[in-house]
Amino acid sequence: SITIKGHVIRLIPVSTSHILAITAEMVQVLTASSPCRLETVGRALEDLLGAAQSQDRLTVGVYESAKLMNVDPDSVVLCVLAADEEDEGDIALQIHFTLLQAFCCDNDINILRVSGLRRLAQLLDDTGDGTEPRDLHCILVTNPPVQPLKCPALQDVGSFCQESRCRNQWVPCLELQDR
């Protein structure tokens, strides 16, 4: 270990010609997205979506979300973009995601990218009761100042998004686990 300008830098040999230099701050960044932390945020997201749905604070669907963000972007506090592996090849969906992400960044709206559409359907009780399933690829959580959303998980998810932005990860990713 060496100290430069008050920072302790640990030198780790990785081969005969390369050395990895790592600081304590880098270790904190690496551990901030540990599997345990991601699992905790995943549970908080599930709690938030459930609370938001019960308080009629969800907008579901790419088209419906774009329409709401155009009319009242200040009420939106979280944009959840959901896609599974098979959706990665859907060019139209990826273009929609890119446009939604840009809009969210311009309007300081937290964004989360999630996989696990089946789990989202379970959470939102969208299991296919004979009606056509909703488009769960984009879900907005709104929190109008007149009647704020009552859910402590909103702060947890918001903090995770903010921490991710501090690490230059503008669209953090989570995997929702089937239960």
Domain-by-domain residue ranges, the chain? 34-175
pLDDT > 70? residue 122 = yes
Alpha helix locations (H) across the chain?
A: 24-32, 35-54, 62-71, 91-106, 117-123, 153-166
**pLDDT > 80? residue 22:** no
**Statement: the pTM of the whole predicted model exceeds 0.85:** no
Determine the pLDDT at residue 148: 82
> Sorting pLDDT into bands at 50, 70 and 90, what band is 30?
very low
Query: Would you say 121 and 127 are in contact if contact means Cβ atoms under 8 Å apart?
Result: yes
Q: Is the pLDDT of residue 133 over 70?
A: yes
- For residue 151, the tally of other CB atoms under 10 A from its CB is 21
Percent share of the chain, pLDDT over 70: 77
- What pLDDT does residue 168 have? 83
The whole-number pLDDT of residue 139 equals 97
For residue 132, the model assigns a pLDDT of: 75
pLDDT in tens, 81-91: 999 999 988 99
Of 39, 50, 38, 178, the residue nearest 123 (C-alpha): 50
pLDDT at residue number 12: 55
How large is the average pLDDT for residues 3-29? 54
Whether residue 27 contacts residue 8, with contact meaning beta carbons closer than 8 Å, is answered with no
Fold of 34-175: 60s Ribosomal Protein L30; Chain: A; (3.30.1330)
Between residues 171 and 20, which one has the greater pLDDT? 171
More confident residue, 145 or 56: 56
Those residues with Cβ within 8 angstroms of residue 37's Cβ, 6 or more apart along the chain or in another chain? 31, 160
Is residue 61 pLDDT above 90, yes or no? yes
Q: Across residues 30-58, what is the average pLDDT?
A: 82
d(CA 102, CA 81): 13
